[in-house]
Structure formats: C-alpha cells, structure tokens
Structure 1
C-alpha cells in the first residue's frame, strides 16, 4: 500500500469513527498509527530503565485517546494531533514510576540552568517569567523545556502513609487523596492544560486576558471589556484573533 493510499485509508477510518465510534474501527486505526507510538517509545526508552514494550503499551493508551478526541473536519494532521497524547501518556507513566526513572544528564543540567535563568529573568522583568521566555534564555525549544519540567518536576517517591498536610494533626494521608479511576483522564487534562498555557503565554497580553476572562472565568464580554478597559467589540476581535493564534501555536507544539 502506497503512502498516499495509507493516508487516504487512515482519513476514511477517522471520519467513520468520528461519525459512529466502534471498537473494530478504533483497533484498525491503532494498527495504522502504531508507528507513532513506536517512535515515542523508542525515543524515551533510551532515557529510562523501563522496557520498550511497556512504553509502547502505555503509548497505545495515548493513541486511543487521540483517536477518540480527533475531529477530522478541523483540517489538523492526525499525527500532529496524536503525538502529544502519546508522549504525555508515556511521560506521566515514567513520572509515576519515578523509582526507575533515569533523568537524562542533559535535562538535569538544563534544570539547574533554568533555576539560574528564572532568577535573572525575575530580577530583569519584575515578574515570574513565562515558559517561552525561560526556553529562549536556555536556547532550547518550548517542547523540550516542557518535557524537562515534567520529567524533573516530581521524581522523588513519597510514602502513601505520609500526611497530605503536615500542618494539621488529623490530616489525611496521601493514600486518602488518591484520585478515583478517572485519574488517567485527569492527567491527560493536566497535560493539555500545560500545552495550552504554553501557547497562551505567547499571546499579546490583552488577547490573553480576554480569553482567560471569557472562556476560563466565564465573564461576559461586557464585563471583560470593563476589566481590560476596551470596548466589547474589541474584546470580540481579541477573542477571534487569540483563538486563531492558539490553533497555530498548538499545532506547532504538536509537531
């Protein structure tokens, strides 16, 4: 089967699944896109002690979520859409298996440099620097900096019997606070939120505030206009502009 025919077949199945989800179609899509999972599993297997086969299995969960959430009518390439889901699933798995996670030396050094860079940026800017500004100061891509943060952000083991709040005598243990079976879905939401925040940080300030007010804080456009000091019509223009920019930025992150 040629590359063109494979692409056509993949799109046909994605459209069919979006119209009427079924296990058989989903499994065919997993088979056609397993190369994306193998690519991520191969890259990350060199950075940890987990078996390649385990990483591939976890990556397939991310691929399935991407298949379930993909909208073929938006014109986005499926590979660009799916890779963040696959990579995020594997990275979160590795973070949870932190006792066997081997942080690459480059990321250890990058994390040390980031602490110094963040301090200098705070002094220079008078505020907490954005991820894009830290990545630029380090001379790396935003994607690599985000991956470094995820890998190094939580690599120490904690006892489940440890109190969740040491300031309270009768505090719950960490085991009491463990999420329900929706935990994996919640982690995916956190990954998406990280990607969205990285893109939001690249927007013009008024555009960013307009989107946060309307879509996150659920303000009316009139309330948002009053908060920013512009007209409601200008708020609408910022929203349209911001959404268009976010689509481009998120697609670049996925790529």
Structure 2
C-alpha cells in the first residue's frame, strides 16, 4: 500500500503524521486546532482559499504530467472532503471510521483522474459524488444493514400510506408540502425524514422490473454503472428528477408508481384504468427515454 506524501497538509483539521512504512495511504485522525475563535475563523477561511488555489494548480500540472506524487498531494490537501463523508456514514453503520476514510480516498482519486479543468466546475462539488459513491458501494458489500432511527423508520411507513391515501383523494400525486402537513412535520423534520429515507434505500434502484421479455432497473438509466449498486449519488438523483420531469405525464406517472411507490404493473394498471400490457410498454418506453436524456448530461 502507498504511504502518504511527506508534504504538510493544508486541511484545517489535519496535523502531519509521522511516516511509517506500513502506514495506510492517508491518515483519518485529526489533530488539535487553535483555541482562539477569531483567529481560527480567519485561518480556516485563508486555508480554504489556499486549498482551492493549490488544488486548481496541481490539477493542471497533474493532468499534464500524471506524476503520482502530485496526485497524492491532491488527495492529501482535499482529505477534509473524505473525512466529512466518513463522519456522516460512521453513525449509520458498523464500519470503522479509518476504514471509511481509506475507501473514500479511492473515490477522491477517481475524481482527480476524471476531473475536467476546462469545464470550470468546483473540484469539491465534482469529487463528493465519487467519494460518497465509493463509501456507499463499500457499505453495501460489507455491512449487513444501515442503521435508521426507529422514529424515522416509523415515519417512512406512515409517509407511504399518507401518499397513497392523498393520491386517491386528490386524484394526483401529492406535493411534498401536502404530505408534510398530513404527517404534521416541521420543515426541518421533513428534511431529516427525506435523508433517512434516502439512506434506508426506500427507492431501490437495483430492484428488477419485468418489462415484456427483459428485466430492467431504474438505475440502469444512469450511465455510470459504478455507483448504481447502493444508491444514486446526490447529483445523479437531481439529474434523474430533472429527466423524469421532461417525460410525458402518463409515462412519468407510470414510472413513479412502479419504481418509487413499489406498485406492481398490475396494480398500476388498475389505478390508472389501463391494461397491464400498456403499463409494460410505457415502462420500457420511459426507461429508454430517460436513458437518452441522461446520456446528454454525463460528467
């Protein structure tokens, strides 16, 4: 395994660790910070700008030379992105923090390799889906479960019932505000419920759906196969939502019933007053259309 480069890290919570031959690629432990709040705030802001500037310069140089030392330096100064995501998942699984950091670094390296400087994107925004996706892929293979607080699990079940009830009463899909009001949740509680819902994989992108002779999954419409297996990275979820909004109303409604609300094609047909064959054809048509829309907007 590679050892971390010897240059001091610019990350605001990382102190340079002694180098050892058997050390992992990057250390997950954070060092002590300054105690003066004003000085710390100014120092953090300055270091953040330094990291952005150095990252941009190093990315240009790395993509010209492909020097592994430059790549390692890029990982080292952007390690805070990995630690932030590792902290998030550490509270929801049984895996060690250090292990999550090591896995997240793999995603960070992939982001470094794939980043296109000419597009003018912020590297941190580009890298986070790769870091998150790598950790999630690891957890799917390694961890038997993702822990979700009991209250949120109960609310998830209630939300599905409320959505089904409101759809029957309103004759359309209810808005988020209508569901939140029916559940008597504050906006903050609703956001927390949505996060818990995402983490518990309420929307299963790997669940196959039989379409005529083929078995397909909604996640198959996302071009990058690497990160479909656990859940969509945040940016891909946004892309999928935008693509769904561009579909014909009936096609979009059918896809939502089948993939988002776990209805069978027969149940969907009964709800909409159409045949199961029509539902099957619309699912296939919708997935093909989604694939085309999403292929036009790949990293």
From 24, 47, 68, the equivalent of 1:23 is 68
Q: Classify the secondary structure of the residue corresponding to 2:137.
A: helix
Q: Identify the structure with bigger relative contact order (alpha carbons < 8 Å, sequence gap 6+).
A: 1
For structure 1, the residue ranges without an aligned partner over 5 or more in a row are 156-163, 165-181, 219-242, 251-255
Q: 1:35 and 1:94 mapped to 2: Cα distance? A: 20
> CA 1:94–1:189 in structure 2 vs 1: closer, same or farther (change >3 Å)?
closer
Pairing of 1:55-74 with structure 2 (within 5 A): 55-74=100-119
Q: Which residue matches 1:200?
A: 243
From 94, 113, 135, the equivalent of 1:90 is 135
CA contact (8 A) 2:58 2:70 kept: yes
Of Structure 1 and Structure 2, the greater helix share is in 1
> CA 1:214–1:53 in structure 2 vs 1: closer, same or farther (change >3 Å)?
same
Aligned length: 192
The answer on 1:7 being equivalent to 2:49 is: no
TM-score (norm 1): 0.56
Higher Rg of the two aligned structures: 2
From 76, 92, 109, the equivalent of 2:154 is 109
> CA 1:27–1:102 in structure 2 vs 1: closer, same or farther (change >3 Å)?
same
Q: Classify the secondary structure of the residue corresponding to 2:105.
A: helix
The answer on 1:79 being equivalent to 2:124 is: yes
CA contact (8 A) 1:111 1:148 kept: yes
CA contact (8 A) 2:133 2:227 kept: no
Offset of 1:126 from its aligned partner? Answer: 4.9
- Residues 140-185 of structure 1 show CA distances to partners (whole Å, capped at 9, x for unaligned) of 44x9736633434499xxxxxxxx9xxxxxxxxxxxxxxxxx9746
- Residues 194-220 of structure 1 show CA distances to partners (whole Å, capped at 9, x for unaligned) of 4421333456969xx9xx9888348xx
Pairing of 1:134-145 with structure 2 (within 5 A): 137-138=179-180, 139=187, 140-141=190-191, 145=194
Q: 1:17 and 1:189 mapped to 2: Cα distance? A: 31
The answer on 1:50 being equivalent to 2:125 is: no
CA contact (8 A) 1:48 1:103 kept: no
